[in-house]
Amino acid sequence: MPLFSPHDQYVRVKQHCGELLSEVRKERPLVHHITNTVTINDCANITLAAGAAPVMAGAAEEAVEMAGIASSLVLNIGTLWPGQVDVMIIAGKAANERGIPVILDPVGVGATTLRTESALRILRECNVTILKGNEGEIGVLAGSGGTVRGVDSYGCSGDPVDVARRCAEVTGTVVAMTGEIDVVTGDGEVYLIRNGHPMMDRLSGTGCMAASLVGAFAAVASSPSKAAVAALAAFGRAGEIAAPGAAGPYSFRTGLFDALYSLSPEDLRDGTQVEIRRGI
């Protein structure tokens, strides 16, 4: 007989989401970003709203030193240039040596050869803890097919759960795939997170912000997959709270930050909508 029933597991995961939010606010981990210049301010502010501390440091000369004091590292190739990848790998290797989690957001993978080759190089040369991408990006990296135009996803080929599983197998990472339903694979299970609101698709940078939150939660968690579940559930729950009071995308943006800042561990615990399946 299983040690826990499916209902027990469901309750434990929801409880863990609330506990991790409390830990982020208690520990205030430093999240080192080498990230997208379009969304860098939003990434910093969403990290602060969650209760963590952001630092945006992309110079090669300080990459090792910054990784030496950070609690996690977020790499985002949204505004990519070749020299940036070299810096990301320097920082990634330093983070690996310290044993802190590395989160890769492969923005726009599949849209150009440079982006695809850069993401594969980072995965090859660094030990990436969590790969956070949309359906198109994860489909490309899984080798199962995905459609990306610019930095926007137009979906993956096949069942999203199967694609996420395949990507985890191919890359050897925990995979957090965002979409209408977010999918996280790891620890031998698959988690489907159903929090969120359609307004989140009307705002630039929500994917980048999600990666920052994954970095914040991963910094305080022993399980990368559960960190990703908690981060995506918290972000989605904030979107659900913010949407009813928004007149449009930009007022929603303000409400999103405020909702995350005000989100209580109890609200996250009670509001997390997650399904657990046996996975890889």
The answer to whether 103 touches 219, Cβ cutoff 8 Å, is: no
For residue 246, tell me if it sits in a domain: yes
113 is in an annotated binding site: no
205 is in an annotated binding site: yes
For the domain that residue 84 is a member of, what is the CATH number?
A: 3.40.1190.20
For residue 1, tell me if it sits in a domain: no
The H or E element that residue 83 is part of is helix 82-98
From the number of C-beta atoms within 10 Å of its C-beta (0-12, 13-18, 19+), residue 278 rates as exposed
197/175 Cα distance (integer angstroms): 21
For residue 151, tell me if it sits in a domain: yes
Q: What is the pLDDT of residues 79-119, one digit of tens each?
A: 998 899 999 999 999 999 999 999 999 999 988 999 999 99
The answer to whether 166 touches 142, Cβ cutoff 8 Å, is: yes
199 is in an annotated binding site: no
* 1 has pLDDT over 50: no
Q: How far is CA 131 from CA 5, 9, 246, 249, in A?
A: 29, 24, 31, 27
Q: What is the pLDDT of residues 149-174, one digit of tens each?
A: 444 445 555 788 999 999 999 999 99
236/242 Cα distance (integer angstroms): 10
**C-beta neighbour count of 131 within 10 angstroms:** 30
Number of domains in the chain: 1
Q: What is the pLDDT of residues 138-152, one digit of tens each?
A: 999 998 655 454 444
Q: What is the pLDDT of residues 16-55, one digit of tens each?
A: 999 999 999 999 999 999 999 999 999 999 999 999 999 9
Identify the domain containing residue 55 by its residue range: 6-278
For residue 120, tell me if it sits in a domain: yes
146/158 Cα distance (integer angstroms): 9
For residue 200, tell me if it sits in a domain: yes
For residue 221, tell me if it sits in a domain: yes
Model pTM? 0.92
56 is in an annotated binding site: yes
